[in-house]
Structure 1
């Protein structure tokens, strides 16, 4: 039997727990030839509530896999993955996920796409549409409620995807290179918009990117992963740049350049290792050529 005192203690513990706690998390996948591939090994990652964490690393190092573990889309092969103090057993509640390719429905209007989440959760249609219109306005798409995805630019589609996630008031937002397909100017603008919207409700954010400048401009901390296979955390850097930030301008800050150089020193070696792995010549018998 749980006493009132114990219940209060448990409630305080849950409230003070980190958004994400991965302890010795390892993820292995079965390959087409039946062998096993280790994407992540003994990953120790902690993301606090309200913290903006960016993850960088060379191609194929398991950055996206870390997101799917937190989202509950994949189960760790070994180790522990906890979100808001609870072991991940299935799809993580109170979490939003933005993919590299937006997941908006092509046969529905902007309004219907943004209202879809609340409607699925049983929110009344009038309330869902009212809230959707408010979020469409917040992401700068007022007047486009009746448009369909094919009538929108790439940047506008990303705004729809942001509104789709944020209308659900997630406590954790997982983002897998969401702006990588955009041109440089639109990407910087969207990054600043993301920060402005994040400041309003401060969900914990884990943002995967290949762009080190983007990571520094957005995050409270940047985590560098080693080259795969069996990637782990090589280093973690605190980004003590002032907020609020304008992504297009923060890059000119002298301290920004100092932080960039420090992180690049840690990242460069892993990028070189990953590149060497993908450019090794292989003999016809499948063995590495000398």
Structure 2
């Protein structure tokens, strides 16, 4: 069984066309984070975005979610222009976004209850998702009583209980140890397969990107970052993250994508070093 690529005739779940994003620095000068960015993600597609530090990966997610607006160009979700907070979009951050004063059950049921779902139904659905992420028996625990991996499971359940059509993930597993990170990646793929939302997964880890995604998008170094290359990942699904890395096709893909990424990482490092030298002089 090969990875399923979304058909070319499908309209994009996410489309960023000619997007430029500028910010004003503390000194009052404009800074261009993204320039002429074109990204399209089909319904059900798992897209990983990689690039050097400061290339605008996280900014891309905030544009899709509606937390930021583009300075130029357009952002659309399922064909509708993004003009505010985008409905039907889940956002999983690098830092835990679960509420420390609420139990696991209350955290997971909060989304449906906020949307007007009856309390009994929300709690029933929350228990089901807590079971799916492997936390049955921990419903009454508070976040400080959970390990880092368990908190990430709560965050996954928080997002997926709302059945998002789009899931945005900003380095969600970067703070975890290697073994827990691999386990969470496997669980993410299993849970994603249940409802197949379109996913944009930002990561610095190229192996993680290839192991998870249908497509890997490489961004250039900032400022004025844009898409350098897009690589289809035609690896079999279902995948076991720790095992797929040993496949010859995986190694070949890694070499191809790293060739595109390496120059951008080197450039970003050089720019950072020069900036530090200027600040020190």
Change (3 A) 1:283 1:263: closer
| Inter-partner Cα distance in structure 1 for 2:243 and 2:206 | 15
| Aligned-CA RMSD value | 1.4
Q: Secondary structure at the match of 2:31?
A: strand
Contact map agreement 2:100 2:144 (CA 8 A) in 1: yes
Deviations 1:167-208 (A, max 9, x none): 000000000000000000000000000000001100000000
Query: Which of 159, 162, 174 matches 2:156?
Result: 162
Deviations 1:124-151 (A, max 9, x none): 0000000000000000000000000000
| Inter-partner Cα distance in structure 2 for 1:131 and 1:30 | 43
Q: Does 1:84 align with 2:84?
A: no
TM-score, normalised to structure 1, is 0.92
Q: Which has the larger radius of gyration?
A: 1
Taking the TM superposition and a 5 Å limit, the aligned residue runs for 1:175-190 are 175-190=169-184
Q: Secondary structure at the match of 2:201?
A: strand
| Inter-partner Cα distance in structure 1 for 2:138 and 2:122 | 17
Taking the TM superposition and a 5 Å limit, the aligned residue runs for 1:264-279 are 264-279=258-273
Deviations 1:44-98 (A, max 9, x none): 0000000000000000000000000000000000001011001100001100000
| Inter-partner Cα distance in structure 1 for 2:275 and 2:126 | 53
Q: Could you tell me which residue of structure 2 aligns to residue 211 of structure 1?
A: 205
Q: Could you tell me which residue of structure 2 aligns to residue 6 of structure 1?
A: none
TM-score, normalised to structure 2, is 0.95
Q: Secondary structure at the match of 1:194?
A: helix
Q: Secondary structure at the match of 1:24?
A: strand
Q: Could you tell me which residue of structure 1 aligns to residue 193 of structure 2?
A: 199
Taking the TM superposition and a 5 Å limit, the aligned residue runs for 1:139-158 are 139-158=133-152
Taking the TM superposition and a 5 Å limit, the aligned residue runs for 1:210-289 are 210-280=204-274
Aligned length: 273
Q: Could you tell me which residue of structure 2 aligns to residue 74 of structure 1?
A: 68
Q: Could you tell me which residue of structure 2 aligns to residue 3 of structure 1?
A: none
Shift of 1:280: 1.4
Q: Any unmatched runs of 5+ in structure 1? A: 1-14
Q: Could you tell me which residue of structure 2 aligns to residue 174 of structure 1?
A: 168
| Inter-partner Cα distance in structure 2 for 1:237 and 1:88 | 26
Q: Secondary structure at the match of 1:45?
A: strand
Taking the TM superposition and a 5 Å limit, the aligned residue runs for 1:116-135 are 116-135=110-129
Q: Could you tell me which residue of structure 2 aligns to residue 12 of structure 1?
A: none
Query: Which of 24, 45, 48 matches 1:51?
Result: 45
| Inter-partner Cα distance in structure 1 for 2:199 and 2:135 | 23
